[in-house]
Amino acid sequence: MKTKKPTRRERQAELLKKEILEAALMVFKEHGYEKATTKKIAERAEVSEGTLYNYFKNKRDILLSLFNIIKERTFNQATISPDIKGDLNKTLTESLALQFDQKSTLSIFTLLLHETGIDPSVQKVFKEQVKAIRKSRTDFFEQLEKAGKIRKVNSTAMAMLINIITIGYITLVESGDKEMAKIPINKLAGEITDILINGMAIPAKIKSSVVYDENILKN
């Protein structure tokens, strides 16, 4: 069954809605959620406040709509199935790089975190999404395990670790860490993947040869 093509009016309405959301994100960043108003958002979007209310019930509705966009983008990236036939290093590196490349969402994500402690409706939506993302990332590692790509591990713990690494990276970059921002995403993802796959400990054979060489130098 073919999907019905949207009419010109529907496309224009969707475009205007997108412009209002982009304006809202800028206003929230500049003024904070509490001081932001629908009037300021409408002015930034260059529409009347009445037009804004044709698309959104109130400021909270705008916030939740922004969250839905971030939620969809994050969930789509988190639910990408691993390439179980491909190289493990490449698979994990690409997955991490995708998650690192979400710097633009941090400010609204932080705002949502704040609002979860105030508004039960936001808290409910936020908890459901976090749970869904964690499950999808847990499934990601379980698929790798079943394919024989990794040893048996606590997949939930691995999913939590990836979440912590991703949020930590985005937070550092958004807070102005210029050194971190200079590192190419794929390079950083590759280096972290190397640690995840190979660990930090020196393999026994290499370690014994290092000790042997040190003894030679002493003599």
Give the chain's domains with CATH numbers. 1-56 (1.10.10.60), 59-218 (1.10.357)
Q: Could you report the per-residue pLDDT of 155-165, keeping only the tens digit for each?
A: 999 989 988 89
The whole-angstrom separation of Cα 81 and Cα 95 is: 9
Q: Could you report the per-residue pLDDT of 106-123, keeping only the tens digit for each?
A: 667 777 777 777 778 778
pLDDT mean over 52-73: 85
Instruction: Using a pLDDT cut of 90, give the percent of the chain over it.
Output: 32
Q: Could you report the per-residue pLDDT of 74-90, keeping only the tens digit for each?
A: 655 555 666 667 788 99
pLDDT mean over 8-22: 92
Q: How many CA atoms lie within 13 A of 194 on its CB side?
A: 7
The whole-angstrom separation of Cα 130 and Cα 123 is: 11
69 pLDDT tier (thresholds 50, 70, 90): confident
Residue 217 has pLDDT above 50, yes or no: no
Q: What amino acid is encoded at 196 in this protein? A: L
- The 3-class SS string of 30-99 reads HHHHHHCCHHHHHHHHCCCHHHHHHHCCCHHHHHHHHHHHHHHHHHHHHCCCCCCCCCHHHHHHHHHHHH
